[in-house]
């Protein structure tokens, strides 16, 4: 590589779209990594019995992966229609605003545990009825 092509490559590599895309990828990977660490303690905090931890943990992971797949398809189609750069910035902006709003949520763990238990009890009763 010549000195001029190396400078051009470095300039392209450090462009705003590449940096924003890298930050978006980092946030997605951080989300996956963090969820894998806190999944079991979170489910235990919701008072799920031990035999349901694996089942519900797998369901949550599947939902997370499905959400990433569906989101990738939807944002990819929008990127084809509206332009990749504007959609990239738009998706990261929406994600960032959502995360900032989540930081301000007051969490009542007792109430969250109560509602999650009601949800799982109803779901399990419906499944038993179905079978």
The domain spans of the chain are: 3-130
* Residues composing the chain: 131
pTM over 0.75: no
Q: Which two tokens stand for residue 39?
A: 């999944």
Work out the number of other CB atoms within 10 angstroms of the CB of residue 90: 14
Q: Name which of 7, 39, 28, 12 is nearest 92 in CA terms.
A: 28
Question: What is residue 37's predicted lDDT score, i.e. its pLDDT?
Answer: 84
Give the model's pLDDT for residue 122. 66
pLDDT band at 4 (very low <50, low <70, confident <90, very high): low
The two tokens of residue 77 are 């189609």
The mean pLDDT value for 63-67 works out to: 88
Give the single-character DSSP code of 47. Answer: T
R_g of the chain, CA atoms, integer Å:
21
Listed residue (55, 94, 100) closest to 71, CA to CA: 94
The encoded tokens of residue 121 equal: 């009890």
pLDDT-above-70 percentage for the chain: 74
Kindly tell me the burial class for residue 43, based on how many C-beta atoms sit within 10 Å of its own C-beta (0-12, 13-18, 19 or more): buried
């Amino acid at each position: 590589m010549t000195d001029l092509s190396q400078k051009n490559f470095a300039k392209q590599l450090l462009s705003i779209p590449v940096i924003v895309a890298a930050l978006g990828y980092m946030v997605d990977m951080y989300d996956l990594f963090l969820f894998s660490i806190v999944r079991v303690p979170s489910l235990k905090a919701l008072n799920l019995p031990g035999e349901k931890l694996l089942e519900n943990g797998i369901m949550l992971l599947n939902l997370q992966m499905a959400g990433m797949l569906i989101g990738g398809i939807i944002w990819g189609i929008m990127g084809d229609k509206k332009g990749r750069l504007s959609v990239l910035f738009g998706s990261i902006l929406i994600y960032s605003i959502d995360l900032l709003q989540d930081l301000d949520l007051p969490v009542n763990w007792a109430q969250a545990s109560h509602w999650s238990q009601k949800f799982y009890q109803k779901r399990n009763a419906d499944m038993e009825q179905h079978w």
